[in-house]
Amino acid sequence: MGRGGRSSIYIVDEGAHIDQAEKVEAAIIGNADCRGWVSSVNGMGNLFYRKRQNDSVKVFTFRLEDDPRKTPEWIARKKASTDPVTWAQEYELDYGASAEGVCIPGPWVQAAVKLGKLLGDRLGRWMSPTAPGVAGMDVGGGGKGKTVLVIRKGPVVRVPKSWNTPDNITTTHSALDETRQAGAGVMNYDPIGVGNTVTSTLKHANTDGLKVYPINVGDSPSDAEWPDGRKAKEMFANLKAELWWTVRCAFQRSYELLLFLEGQEGGCDHPLEDIIVLPDSKELTGQLPVPKWLKNEKGRIAIESKLSLARRGIPSPDFAEALVLTYAPEPIEDFVMPSVTPVFGGRGAGLLS
């Protein structure tokens, strides 16, 4: 598509609906210096959405109300005869509406952002520099793979930090410094693959005042018992699925709390300790509603793999995975050397469908 020609301008129509859009982008770069992507909305898991959220890209938005043929009467009739999800996606440009099969639906993510602004001073005790916190680090290898650090204090998630460098030794020290400065006492990281460099670096780094744990999300689930009486090992394919589902539950509670505060149907008053509040980070809010959940051959919940995401043309959700690591249960040991694989103890969590 577009490869081989030379043009003054190249327009890609319905770019959000094109399979392997990254390959199309690579092909047309040599075709034209001026390239425009036009599309209706198709969720967040595609190149068009990422372009739309890029502040360096010029964006023109044509809304329903901008069409002089679409009178208020026409809009009312059309909306009454259209499925709400379809209406939100096709006519209101709602990127979070088409959330079929995703682990964390877009509206839940947006609710967590809105709650941060709505609750304000009620979140004060978690905003303090001395409040305990947990950091999660998803390790990248440079190029498109960023190393991302997310710090969470209770329900409050801070603005993520990221480094786009293959020098994971320097990045590890930077992450330790950021964690200390934020007042967080724990830093979790994924030691698999490029995370090995972090493990090696930590053996010689100054970790005084910090508990640093390698969290292999491919391990078995924890021994936690969920409210319906089932063990995590009966419910989830691996620790990754358990952690993502724990985060999903927190987002659902945030969504229900927002509905409650706004007096809408389906609302529920949840303790603030049980919700999650997000900063207005485009990378984080854009990645969370992307991975899908499924059930494996044993009927256990699994989360879409990076390979499956790549087949859909979606890069690794490094910001989202860094956040998920902040929910890993702390190992039983008081202190764990980076080379030791931790054994997880139980912890309670809510189970929401």
Angle between helices 106-119 and 239-261 (to 10 degrees): 60
246 DSSP assignment: H
All structural domains of the chain, each given as residue ranges with its CATH number in brackets, are: 9-90 (no CATH), 106-325 (3.30.420.240)
- What is the residue type of 138? D
The pLDDT value recorded for residue 352 is 40
- Assign 239 to helix, strand or coil: helix
The pLDDT value recorded for residue 94 is 77
> Mean pLDDT over residues 47-55, rounded?
82
- Assign 285 to helix, strand or coil: helix
The pLDDT value recorded for residue 178 is 93
> Mean pLDDT over residues 246-267, rounded?
94
Which phi and psi angles does 293 have, rounded to 5°? -115, 155
The C-alpha atoms of residue 187 and residue 211 are separated, in whole angstroms, by 6
In contact, 149 and 175? CB cutoff 8 Å: yes
Q: Tell me the H-state helices in the chain.
A: 21-28, 47-52, 72-80, 84-90, 106-119, 124-127, 168-181, 195-202, 232-235, 239-261, 282-287, 306-311, 318-325
Average pLDDT, rounded, for the chain: 86
- Model pLDDT for residues 280-295, shown as the tens digit of each residue: 898 999 899 889 999 9
Query: Which residues on adjacent β-strands are paired with residue 37?
Result: 12
Q: Nearest to residue 150, comparing CAs of 158, 248, 142?
A: 158
Task: Report CA-CA distances (Å) from 102 to 20, 35, 133, 314, 348.
Answer: 19, 31, 28, 14, 24
> Mean pLDDT over residues 327-347, rounded?
52
Token pair 């899908």 in the structure block, residue: 292
In contact, 273 and 154? CB cutoff 8 Å: yes
- Assign 115 to helix, strand or coil: helix
- Model pLDDT for residues 59-88, shown as the tens digit of each residue: 999 988 899 999 999 999 998 888 777 787
The C-alpha atoms of residue 337 and residue 122 are separated, in whole angstroms, by 37
Q: Which of 75-79, 196-200, 219-223 has the lowest mean pLDDT?
A: 196-200
> Mean pLDDT over residues 121-139, rounded?
92
Predicted confidence (pLDDT) at residue 254 exceeds the cutoff of 80: yes
The DSSP secondary structure of 38-74, one letter per residue, reads: E-----SSSHHHHHHT-TTS------GGG-TT--HHH
Query: Which residues on adjacent β-strands are paired with residue 189?
Result: 137, 214
Predicted confidence (pLDDT) at residue 351 exceeds the cutoff of 90: no
Size of the chain, expressed as the number of residues it contains: 353
CA 181 to chain CA centroid, Å, is: 24
Categorize the per-residue pLDDT at 272 as very low, low, confident or very high, splitting at 50, 70 and 90: very high
Q: Which two tokens stand for residue 134?
A: 């947990």
